[in-house]
Amino acid sequence: MKRRSMDLIYREFKLDVYRYLYYLCHDHHQSEDLTQETFCRACKKLENLEMGKIKAWLLRVAHNAYIDRVRKESRSQVYENEFFYGIPNEETPEHLALRQERSDELYALLAQLTPQQQHAVLLYDIQGFSYQESADLMKISLSHFKILLYRARQKLRSQQKDVQVNTMLAANL
């Protein structure tokens, strides 16, 4: 494969791959590392791939890189240095707090789902894949994927209603 075509593929899909990995691991730095790993792996095998399925294939490579990282981390323990989390940013503290709160609420709701339901929601609702592409990426049938997504959405709706009711009760006390 020519270097120019790999550059174009990287520019076109790097944000999609990064977002997908961020939703999986919830860590900016780990997502960046995994994105780099994904494109390093892709660079070795890209010449055999047809052009229409590059994004789906890249996300499959990203998912495999994520699974490899999780397996590796389960065998060793890493300690984070929290010093760098407080580095100033251009956004206001209020904006950051609100965004973090919404993000935490979403992750809390998604954490209640099974891993397959989480994956279905991420692929279809967040990454924008079609039903068929999402089912193919998860290596399940189309009807099974639709059932997973339907049940995941039902569970998210009921959890969201429960959170709203609890919030209203707490406000009235």
Answer with the one of 53, 87, 121 that is the final residue of a domain: 87
Let me know: does 59 contact 127? Beta carbons within 8 Å: yes
Confidence bin at 99 (pLDDT 50/70/90): confident
At residue 45, does pLDDT exceed 90?
Answer: no
Among the candidates 39, 54, 87, a domain finishes at 87
Whether the full predicted model's pTM is greater than 0.75, yes or no, is: no
Mean pLDDT lowest among 12-21, 136-145, 154-163: 154-163
Full domain range(s) for residue 70 = 1-87
- For 121, phi then psi, to 5°, come to -65, -45
| 72 and 58 within one domain | yes
Cβ atoms < 10 Å from Cβ of 20: 25
pLDDT at position 7 is 84
Which CATH number covers residue 123?
Answer: 1.10.10.10
Nearby residues of 66 by Cβ (< 8 Å), 6 or more positions away: 21, 24, 25, 34
Q: CB count, 10 Å around CB of 113?
A: 19
Q: Which of 88, 111, 107, 110 is nearest to 99 (CA)?
A: 107
Lowest mean pLDDT segment, chosen from 56-65, 90-99, 111-120: 90-99
User: Is the pLDDT at 1 greater than 60, yes or no?
Assistant: no
Task: Say yes or no to pLDDT of 130 above 80.
Answer: yes
Domain count, the chain: 2
Between 170 and 144, where is the model more confident? 144
Check which CATH number belongs to the domain holding 23 and give it.
Answer: 1.10.1740.10
pLDDT for the residue numbered 33: 93
Is the same domain home to 6 and 83? yes
The answer on 96 and 82 residing in a single domain is no
8 A C-beta contact, residue 57 and residue 43 = no
Given 40, 63, 87, the domain boundary residue is: 87
User: Do 125 and 82 lie in a common domain?
Assistant: no
Tokens of 99: 């965004």
Are 5 and 69 part of one and the same domain? yes
Averaged confidence pLDDT in the chain: 83
